[in-house]
Amino acid sequence: MLAQEALSLKRTPLHALHLSLGAKMVPFAGYEMPVQFPLGVLKEHLHTRRSAGLFDVSHMGQIALRPRSGKIEDAALALERLVPQDFAGLGAGRQRYAQFTNDAGGILDDLMVANFGDHLFIVVNAACKEADEAHLRKHLSEACEVNVLPDRALMALQGPKAEAALARLCPGVSAMRFMDAGPQNIAGFECFISRSGYTGEDGFEISVPAAQAEQLARMLLDDPDVQPIGLGARDSLRLEAGLCLYGHDIDETTSPIESALEWSIQKNRRTGGARAGGFPGAKTILDQLANGTTRRRVGLRPEGRAPVREGAPLFSDQLATHPIGSVTSGGFGPSLNAPMAMGYVPAALAAADTQIFAEVRGQRVPMRVAATPFVPNAFKR
């Protein structure tokens, strides 16, 4: 990393800890972030799958949405004006995945929203957080206070031994199930915890006051089962789990239905539901739910051992001259022990086991459409 470039990058509250642990730092979403630690990407990935990995995700945006009326249902109904999901029906202590949509039905960002009883706690992507804040203020300020929480760090503890590692410091987490969320005291620190993550493994995301982040991280790393994990393994883990990366697999040009995210839209918001529509792009999205789309995001399994990377054009056969789509994410899956990818193809070619071809360095590589996740999820439900 160039010195001038490094000076312009923001740093998370765990930056000094990363350097002390020997991290290789890279620019990411305007921040200087650890891409890997001395263990290396492959071993970090496999360690998370069999034990527990600690990730710094403090670059993400954290926002509290507080109803001016004091009634949480007013904040939930206000947020429903911007997303296709049901938040009036989300109980206290629960979290849900959502998307901000635009008037064309495209995705402005994807986000996690938790009901903390008296307000909604929102986590948004790092590259979108300023735009998301402005979006919330523009449309919801009359009904809600939009409070950005810049003085909090965010870390993710992921893997089959995550519960045991965190329960040493906070026994109450053992009773949490997938997508439970709320305030918890961890070793005297006032934290917000959700049982969720971005790896397909069981685990937790922990919001902690920035001033106490390094101390808490060191306490977690004192457990021999916990290792620090960088962005490289985070990406291969989420791809094995079939999870979208904003700006790659989803963006303003892809709808939730084209993106195969219709599972996230509850019946209440669909045609015939109690609160159908009412969000940006509702006409397009509800029409696609009823009648289908011309293209779909699918999982792809290349033949052979070579990964097919993002941007590779896709073709219907070896001799076709016009691409039918492109790869949006691709790499080698350490747990899968094989290459994997995701991309968009015409709906007629989206069925599992359909053969298509990617062009890599002038050669056509055979691929098969495959179900995701590539590696089964291990959430505690």
Kindly list the structural domains of the chain, giving each domain's residue range(s) and its CATH number in brackets, ordered by start: 3-57+151-240 (3.30.1360.120), 294-370 (2.40.30.110)
Q: Judge contact between 349 and 370, C-beta under 8 A.
A: no
Sheet holding 52-56, edge to edge: 181-186, 189-194, 203-209, 152-158, 52-56, 226-229
Mean pLDDT of 103-109: 98
Mean pLDDT of 166-188: 97
- Which has the closest alpha carbon to 331: 231, 259, 201, 196? 231
Mean pLDDT of 147-157: 98
Q: Judge contact between 126 and 56, C-beta under 8 A.
A: no
How far apart, in whole angstroms, are the C-alpha atoms of residue 19 and residue 40? 15
| Mean pLDDT, all residues of the chain | 97
Instruction: Categorize the per-residue pLDDT at 66 as very low, low, confident or very high, splitting at 50, 70 and 90.
Output: very high
Q: Which residues pair with 148 in a beta bridge?
A: 63
Strand pairing report for 226-229 and 52-56: parallel
* Cis amide bond preceding 373, omega within 30: yes
* H-run or E-run covering 33: strand 31-36
Query: Could you tell me the end-to-end alpha-carbon distance of the chain, in angstroms, rounded to an integer?
Result: 42
Please give the share of the chain, as a percent, with pLDDT higher than 90: 98
How far apart, in whole angstroms, are the C-alpha atoms of residue 190 and residue 77? 28
Strands (E), 49-124: 52-56, 61-67, 95-101, 107-115, 120-124
Length of the chain: 381
Mean pLDDT of 330-354: 98
Q: Which two tokens stand for residue 252?
A: 């303003």
Mean pLDDT of 121-145: 98
Instruction: Categorize the per-residue pLDDT at 253 as very low, low, confident or very high, splitting at 50, 70 and 90.
Output: very high
Q: What pLDDT, on a 0 to 100 scale, did the predictor assign at position 1?
A: 54
Handedness of CA 330, 380, 64, 217 (dihedral sign): negative
Neighbours of 129 (CB within 10 A): 23
What residue spans of the chain are helical by DSSP H? 3-8, 15-20, 41-50, 72-79, 129-140, 162-167, 210-221, 231-240, 282-291
Mean pLDDT of 28-34: 97
Does residue 3 carry a pLDDT above 60? no
The model's pTM is 0.96
Q: Judge contact between 165 and 218, C-beta under 8 A.
A: no
